[in-house]
Chain A
Amino acid sequence: MINSKVNLEKIKRSFSDSKPFKHVFIKDFLERGEYGKTYKSLVRETFEIKNSDLFSFSQTCDFSSINHKDLKFFYNFLVSKEFSDFVSKIYGKKLKVGAINVSGTLYQKGDYLLCHDDMLDDRKIAFMFYFSDLSKKDGGSFDMISLKKNSDFGILKSITPKENSFFMFEVSNKSFHQVQEVLTDIKRYSISGWLK
């Protein structure tokens, strides 16, 4: 499933050296064929509008109850020992096998996720697979935010989603982040979940 060209040692270093909280962004992450199958199935899924004070986006059902065979295959990979071992090696600490709350998310024009830290239910790692190519003018970037009122305050780093990329970060009391509002007609697809 994971592209054989992915350089684990380089990724580990990138993760441990990253700021404002530990994270890593990997391009061309999945084998091309697996990526294509997952993408095609994802965009055909039913997305339900979700709204709260914190967010506005559309979401699939939890993948633990997904019917489509290709998405089920992808989900099985996320709950496999192979995936949690891979993430554990980057994280440098042991993680439980089996990703939780895995679902597909779609952000369209006007959708957003405001600043929060993800600290909930012993989550240790948050991860997302991106299935859309965005540019800065589209919005929809993943922004890492520091709330410390000193010179390093506000958005310290932004990740612009690229198709077939993988992003993960350590959940902590520093992991404040947001998804900037999508400003154009682009569709921002991702699959995300957490590891404990």
Chain B
Amino acid sequence: MNEINDFYLDKDVMSLVKKDFNKKGFVVLDNFFNNSYCSDLKRLNKLKFKESFIWNIEKFSFIKDHRDFNFLSDFLETCFGIKIKLDFQIKRFSHRDFTLRHDSVKLFNDFYVWFYVCNKWDESFGGYRVFEIKGKQFIFNVKPNRICIVKGDKKINNFVKYVNCFSGKNSFLMVGN
């Protein structure tokens, strides 16, 4: 788990994170990775992305990368006591990209885990991920080096808000499930 900021590997911090997660059903951890791993992740941007565009479902770019995220599985197991096989995708969102909530795309995961790789991002650009849990909306804003973990449920629906023209040439990577 050398990739993770030492702060989050402290037993007392892990205990607080677990408590928060059990209470709310989700947790957002900022400055999650250490600096060298952050720089390493930014290299993903240099890879060749392919577009996925289905008019009434989604638009973004993605790559299939065989990067090893086992250290994250280890962290989740140590922190939350959960064993999870992470099947991560690397998606890039820029102007005009989105995903819609769609009845035919009912994903059901025990846990949703994803992190953001970007330089700068403003909430007004869109791109934030929204989870609808029991009729309530929870917004997970894009922020560099932020990881989000959400407890899954059959009734959960989620989407990524359309990235509007205020984003200019900025983009972000969403790595996770």
- A residues contacting B by CB (< 8 A) are 51, 53-54, 56, 109-110, 112, 114-117, 139, 145, 147, 154, 176, 178, 181, 183
Contacts and interface: CB of A to CB of B under 8 A. Distances in A.
Contacts of B108: none
Given A53-B130, A181-B96, A115 B162 contact: no
Contacts of B159: 53
B90 to A, nearest CB: 22
B100 A114 contact: yes
Given A147-B56, A176-B55, 6 more contacts: A53-B101, A112-B162, A114-B98, A114-B162, A115-B55, A117-B56
A183 B165 contact: yes
A110 B164 contact: yes
Nearest to A155: B55
**Interface on chain A toward B: helix, strand, loop, or mixed SS?**
strand
A156 to B, nearest CB: 12
Interface residues of B, number: 16
12 contacts: A53-B98, A53-B99, A53-B130, A56-B162, A109-B165, A110-B124, A110-B166, A114-B162, A115-B55, A115-B56, A116-B56, A181-B162
Contacts of A183: 165
**Interface on chain B toward A: helix, strand, loop, or mixed SS?**
loop
A181 B100 contact: no
A53 B56 contact: no
A137 to B, nearest CB: 12
A176 B130 CA distance: 24
B161 interface: yes
A34 B164 CA distance: 35
Contacts of A176: 55-56
Contacts of A53: 98-101, 130, 159, 161
